[in-house]
Structure 1
Amino acid sequence: MSADLVKPHDSQQSTPSPALPHNMHTNAVSSPSHHLSLAGTSMMALPQDVFNLVIDELGRLPDVKTLRACSMTCSSFRCPSQSHIFRRVDLGRRTPRKKYFHRFASLISKTPRIGTYVRDLRIEDDWGRDVVNGVVITWIAHSEHLVQLLPMLTRLMSLTLKFNSGFAPWNLFTKDVRTAIINTLRSPGVVSVSLSHIEAFPPAIVSSLVRLKHLQLSAIKLDKTSSQDEASNVRPEFLLKSLDFASTSSTTVRLLHEIISFSSATTLRNLSLAPPEQDDLGPCVWSLMQLPNVAQHLTHFEWMPVHIHARIGPIDISILPNLRSVRILVSLRQDMPFAQLLRLLNQPTSRANKIQTIAMIFDLTDLPQFRGASGWVMLENTLMKLAYGRLKEMSLFMRACHNNRPTYLSEVLSGNPQVYPRHINFSNMVEFPYEIFYLIIEEVEDKLTLKSCALVCRSFVEPSQKNIFRVIDLGDRCITGEVYYRRFYRLISTHPHIANYVRDFRLVDSYVWDRKSDWQWLVKEPTLPLTFQLLPRLQAFSLIFTTGEPAWNSFASHVQAAIFKLLTRRTISSLSLRRIHGVPASLLVHFTRIKHLELYEVEMDPLKASFKDDPSYQRDLRPELRSLTLKSPSSSVVKAIFELLSFSCPSTLENLSIISANEKDEVLRNDLWTLIEWMGSSISRLWWRPRTHPKFPALASVLDRSPISDRLGRTAQFALFAISFFAQLLFLLGRVASKRNFEQLVIECVFLNPLELAVAKDGWSALDAMLMKEEFSGLRSVIFSAQCKSASMLKTSAMAFLREQLPLARGRGITVGFDMNGP
């Protein structure tokens, strides 16, 4: 990991809550439709511990970019993300290394908190050297930044110090640098150390490193004349579990041999040897392997020669009775690549050996240079001997000369490499309880994603299907309604458990653009009663016609009876009827338990419009209606609704939506006035959406006769038709303003071109001035909305313009938000 990593954010910077999406505060208004309002409820807030677990799992993967993005999400994500970003700091990956080292040291100096995240630090120098006082030496040897950096890494566990420019004489290091390195090596938290290309290194320091768990010495030459003043003469307890020699001098190995021989420790389990071409390292290591407390306890041996012509020499792994795994580097660039490999593997001859895993790393430049095909036959014959009767796994890796990371050879040969990081242990992955998965799946709304979740595993099927089949809309696909219905009926008939998941059933005669089908099949469908019986947990029902406007008396008797029976269920709380004529008052009697009612272009039967003519009429009716939406309402419908609601005293209606009312119908205006006057004490949300460019807005005349500004609740919503509507909008705002209750204003912007909004400059100024009046002192937010089916490009342009409007209101503290996915 390079040192130019993510810088910490200012701790005083305000950030949104991590449990909410970035647009939660702008999408503050739900749709007037009860179906949409159900989806607009607040998101579930997960505890911070769950987010930390997710980030911890992300930290196991080598995806620093995603961790950086997480750290910049919010303040609560910063620390857990940065703890993984800076957990492994590799200052040798990018050049010039000196530059990036100074950057990292400066970052730790300015933000000491980040220093506590570093567990693994790798420092390398550049190929060139500095000249200090006439002496050519690496910049690490006199780095003041290193002296300041190492003490600030209080939780460091692993340190790698490598010199690429050649051997670095220890005696040429400044005293401060030597002291800083020694103190770090002595730190009780450090358990792993790797040193490379250091000469004149004090033996006392090497002796003190046996207290570690992992030690790698590469090309380390001891100073035979060194005094014991830089490290303690007291030999620490031998705790090494892993020891790695790479081109290390024989004197270093003999020193460790002496320490182990005088110790009774039996902790050494892994031994790795990487000898050069000609050196006495092999015989020295072989002597160390013969020690009883080493030979009897080694379980892993690695042969990783530095040079392709290196020889095994006297090393014999047959003396290791508890050896479990062997790792060997084979160079396919030499003429006889399998010679040393076969010599090593032919050493164990007894059935008593316990080797279970063999990993071979093949070093090659490119595949055309692949050699030694006959060696594969000899290797197979060797592994078929009785000595390898316990062998369970054979792994083949490839290491090209430009990349030292092993890769599965089979992946390279197949031309589809998939490199998996070695440090990931999938057996140690954190397991979430299933309740967490269920909560996450419940928040997913995209059906394609839910279908993918249902195919993940068996435990995901049920929670995914619950969301997939929660809402059944027979008009959401370009399939004729009759065919769509038949498929759904066959599904719930053969899989009854799926029917239990359905909460919202939208029965549609056909999709909107269908011009070939009609509604005749729906009003006579013989299986509808059985379909309703198969949906025992239904909560919302919609009957929608798009291809015509049938009369109620055209419905078959069994269909009418099924609908009547369905509306008597106590579980049904939401009902939507669209484009039905001649509806009798007897049907409305069953609306008493309905809490959300939508009537779109519905006409009452003039001969059966009174409840008194209905035999099921009862005086003790107690309607529970909370939300009412009327689109293109007729006077007969408004009268019937008022007659029904008048049985409830006081009024229970809270949300009223009037869409596309006939502005010229005087009788309709009188009926609306009667309805609004009666429910004025309970209404808390008013939504008015007139026809395009109205000249005689019905609601304006109604409010002119019945001002409800002192009784209207928290929210009012109006449709803003660009250019020509500001005068009527300002008039309506004057009728509903209330400095005590009126807290939110929602304006739906209807336009064909965003430039229409910009032309009405005077209208925006007048609206801004009106919101500054005392009558709007309780106003907290203004929400601009656009229909979800509008083009995203137009909505983006409109949003950019609306952000700059209402400067006076914004200066007073009124929040301006956006809901670009409105009804």
Structure 2
Amino acid sequence: MLLTLLSPSILSKETSPTKLCATNSHSPKSLVASGHDAYSNASPPLLPPELIETIIDEVGSQGDTQTLRSCSLVASTFVFRAQSHIFKTVDLDKAQPRKKYHERFHWLLVRNPYLGMHVRHLRIGDDPEDDYGSRDWGRFDMAGRSWIRQSKTIRHTLGSLPRLQSFSLTFNSEWTNWETEIPASTRQAFEQVFSLSTLRSVSLEFVTGFPVNLLKGLVAKLSFVGLSCVETGNGSSSQLPTSANASPKSLYLRGTSPDTIQAVSQALVASSSASPLRKLAITPTFERGFGNAIAQLIREVGVDLEEFQWLPSIHFRSSVGSIDISFPQGLRYLKFTVSYRKAHGHGPFPEVIRLLSQLYQAQRADTSRPDHLERITIECHCLRSMEAKTLKAEWQAIDKILGRPGVFKALKELKIELPTSTSSTELIHEFMMAFQDALPMTQEKGVMVSVKSRTVVDERFVVDSGYSFTALQ
């Protein structure tokens, strides 16, 4: 699931109306709410414990933290179950300053160690570099101001979370060298998290000198690995458990070097028989060899791909190069991001058309080829004002590819998403009105075409969300 914001009020001593304490029993279920007369004198609820747990689980499934906090104050029988949902997901990479909220969470764990057993998803991030000072201060001074690198408590925090399933670590945009800029004790704490038997998902951002053997171990072990601006090195690291996770794997590679991609490929080749690569999302770089490295990865371990996402930056033009998505024969879902800011002469879709044409040509050349593609999403950024006639002309090439008979026969849905973070409400409304009947051939085939605005809640990098991907473009 996506890591959600841990409400600052949960970590704030000033806003917490209840002090948690333990009775003589050693069981976490014996925790009671004390220091509040209205609740200390309340009679126990008459509902069966199983029904109480079912009700709280339903509230937890909705992510309603405020109601869960209220439930925890009702009676002692409510506390444990409510807190198991409140602390299941802890996002310390949202509210600023992030160091302050980490310290609050750390001392909360010190006072109530049992809470660490509830945490399944954790995200930690540095504060933006602007909070450290001007770039003119230099790399050394800014490196000294990174709270993650300076923290004396983060290793104790991580050591109190033995059941983590997903972990996301983001440094600031001045890349952090894993070996030379992170204290050894902190590195060891991170690597202990990586070695947890419960861990299934890891995301890393702005890391250089990351030990290549450690990266290979993560790729072999985990179901999801997200790498944003991560470069490998030859540094030493502790040995991860050798047993690979047999579940299908998902990758998100953003701004990664060809050497890093090659290391990922090697790890996948070694574990592909037990753990096929099913989902791959790419945000390309302009580094020489990037496209070839991705193309090689697809050829070597991409035969079982079911989902492919091409997510270039909205600020620059990019090319798919030698990437060929016709190699996998089981693709079910495609996603593309396009930007009108840097549109080509024939619109913002040349690379989308190239990738779709690869599938089109493969199906035309081999009529017995499996056709599983069911859904396509095109996310459009930086919209510009245009008439319906102009918009229809820009989308005509896509309509011709998807709408022709005999190909893309399994396609059921084409979704156009318009993020509110990169286009004004007026332009989104204008686009929706102009888009009507822009894809007549596709619609005549029975494909459901929808155009919707979307609010991007998460502004930082990547986490696993049930094998879907979210990222800042």
SS at match of 1:194: strand
Task: Measure, in 1, the Cα distance between the counterparts of 2:455 and 2:41.
Answer: 37
Distance 1:295 1:199, change over 3 A: closer
Task: Measure, in 2, the Cα distance between the counterparts of 1:424 and 1:168.
Answer: 26
Alignment-derived partner of residue 285 in structure 2: 276
- Aligned pair partner of 1:300 in 307, 312, 335: 307
Task: Measure, in 2, the Cα distance between the counterparts of 1:48 and 1:419.
Answer: 39
Conserved 8 A contact 1:116-1:155:
yes
SS at match of 2:115: helix
Conserved 8 A contact 1:126-1:164:
yes
Conserved 8 A contact 2:210-2:232:
yes
Distance 1:277 1:62, change over 3 A: farther
Q: Indicate yes or no: 2:409 matched with 1:383.
A: no
Alignment-derived partner of residue 99 in structure 1: 100
The one-letter amino acid paired with 2:276 is T
Alignment-derived partner of residue 378 in structure 2: 360
Question: How many angstroms does 1:133 deviate by?
Answer: 9.5
Matches for 1:339-738 after TM superposition, within 5 Å:
339-349=350-360, 350=363, 351=367, 352=369, 353-364=371-382, 368=385, 372-385=391-404, 386-401=406-421, 413=432
CA offsets 1:499-518 (integer angstroms, 9 cap, x no match): xxxxxxxxxxxxxxxxxxxx
Distance 1:401 1:278, change over 3 A: farther
Task: Measure, in 2, the Cα distance between the counterparts of 1:103 and 1:17.
Answer: 32
Distance 1:198 1:269, change over 3 A: same
CA offsets 1:530-570 (integer angstroms, 9 cap, x no match): xxxxxxxxxxxxxxxxxxxxxxxxxxxxxxxxxxxxxxxxx
Task: Measure, in 2, the Cα distance between the counterparts of 1:346 and 1:298.
Answer: 18
Conserved 8 A contact 2:385-2:430:
no
Alignment-derived partner of residue 251 in structure 1: 259
Conserved 8 A contact 1:167-1:197:
yes
Distance 1:367 1:120, change over 3 A: farther
Task: Measure, in 1, the Cα distance between the counterparts of 2:141 and 2:338.
Answer: 44
Question: How many angstroms does 1:285 deviate by?
Answer: 1.1
Task: Measure, in 1, the Cα distance between the counterparts of 2:83 and 2:430.
Answer: 33
Distance 1:334 1:108, change over 3 A: same
Task: Measure, in 2, the Cα distance between the counterparts of 1:238 and 1:167.
Answer: 30
Question: How many angstroms does 1:69 deviate by?
Answer: 2.2
SS at match of 1:297: coil
Alignment-derived partner of residue 682 in structure 1: none
Q: Indicate yes or no: 2:198 matched with 1:189.
A: yes
Alignment-derived partner of residue 153 in structure 2: 145
Distance 1:233 1:191, change over 3 A: closer
Distance 1:416 1:296, change over 3 A: closer
Task: Measure, in 1, the Cα distance between the counterparts of 2:196 and 2:173.
Answer: 28
Q: Indicate yes or no: 2:356 matched with 1:337.
A: no
SS at match of 2:153: helix
State the TM-score, normalizing by the size of structure 2: 0.74
Task: Measure, in 2, the Cα distance between the counterparts of 1:114 and 1:197.
Answer: 30
Conserved 8 A contact 1:274-1:306:
yes
Distance 1:53 1:395, change over 3 A: farther
Alignment-derived partner of residue 205 in structure 1: 214
Distance 1:402 1:47, change over 3 A: farther
Runs of at least 5 residues in structure 1 that lack an aligned partner in the other structure: 20-44, 404-408, 426-823
Task: Measure, in 2, the Cα distance between the counterparts of 1:120 and 1:284.
Answer: 31
Conserved 8 A contact 2:420-2:455:
no
SS at match of 1:387: coil
Task: Measure, in 2, the Cα distance between the counterparts of 1:214 and 1:383.
Answer: 31
Question: How many angstroms does 1:233 deviate by?
Answer: 8.4
CA offsets 1:568-610 (integer angstroms, 9 cap, x no match): xxxxxxxxxxxxxxxxxxxxxxxxxxxxxxxxxxxxxxxxxxx
CA offsets 1:711-753 (integer angstroms, 9 cap, x no match): xxxxxxxxxxxxxxxxxxxxxxxxxxxxxxxxxxxxxxxxxxx
Conserved 8 A contact 1:3-1:101:
no
Task: Measure, in 2, the Cα distance between the counterparts of 1:134 and 1:126.
Answer: 15
CA offsets 1:635-679 (integer angstroms, 9 cap, x no match): xxxxxxxxxxxxxxxxxxxxxxxxxxxxxxxxxxxxxxxxxxxxx
Matches for 1:74-153 after TM superposition, within 5 Å:
74-128=75-129, 129=132, 136-137=143-144, 138-153=146-161
Distance 1:65 1:124, change over 3 A: same
Matches for 1:738-817 after TM superposition, within 5 Å:
none
Corresponding pairs, count = 389
SS at match of 1:204: helix
Q: Identity of paired residues, percent?
A: 28
Alignment-derived partner of residue 9 in structure 1: 20
Distance 1:110 1:411, change over 3 A: farther
CA offsets 1:449-484 (integer angstroms, 9 cap, x no match): xxxxxxxxxxxxxxxxxxxxxxxxxxxxxxxxxxxx
Question: How many angstroms does 1:255 deviate by?
Answer: 1.1
Task: Measure, in 1, the Cα distance between the counterparts of 2:202 and 2:454.
Answer: 30
Task: Measure, in 2, the Cα distance between the counterparts of 1:234 and 1:106.
Answer: 31
Task: Measure, in 1, the Cα distance between the counterparts of 2:44 and 2:465.
Answer: 27
Question: How many angstroms does 1:411 deviate by?
Answer: 12
Distance 1:340 1:12, change over 3 A: closer
Conserved 8 A contact 1:199-1:221:
yes
CA offsets 1:405-438 (integer angstroms, 9 cap, x no match): xxxx89994899687999999xxxxxxxxxxxxx
Conserved 8 A contact 2:6-2:90:
yes
The one-letter amino acid paired with 1:340 is E
Q: Indicate yes or no: 2:314 matched with 1:309.
A: no
**Bigger Rg, structure 1 or 2:** 1
Runs of at least 5 residues in structure 2 that lack an aligned partner in the other structure: 11-15, 22-31, 35-39, 434-450, 459-463, 467-473
CA offsets 1:131-166 (integer angstroms, 9 cap, x no match): 999783422123111110001111111000011242
Task: Measure, in 1, the Cα distance between the counterparts of 2:113 and 2:359.
Answer: 53
Compute the RMSD of aligned alpha carbons: 3.2
Task: Measure, in 1, the Cα distance between the counterparts of 2:196 and 2:260.
Answer: 22
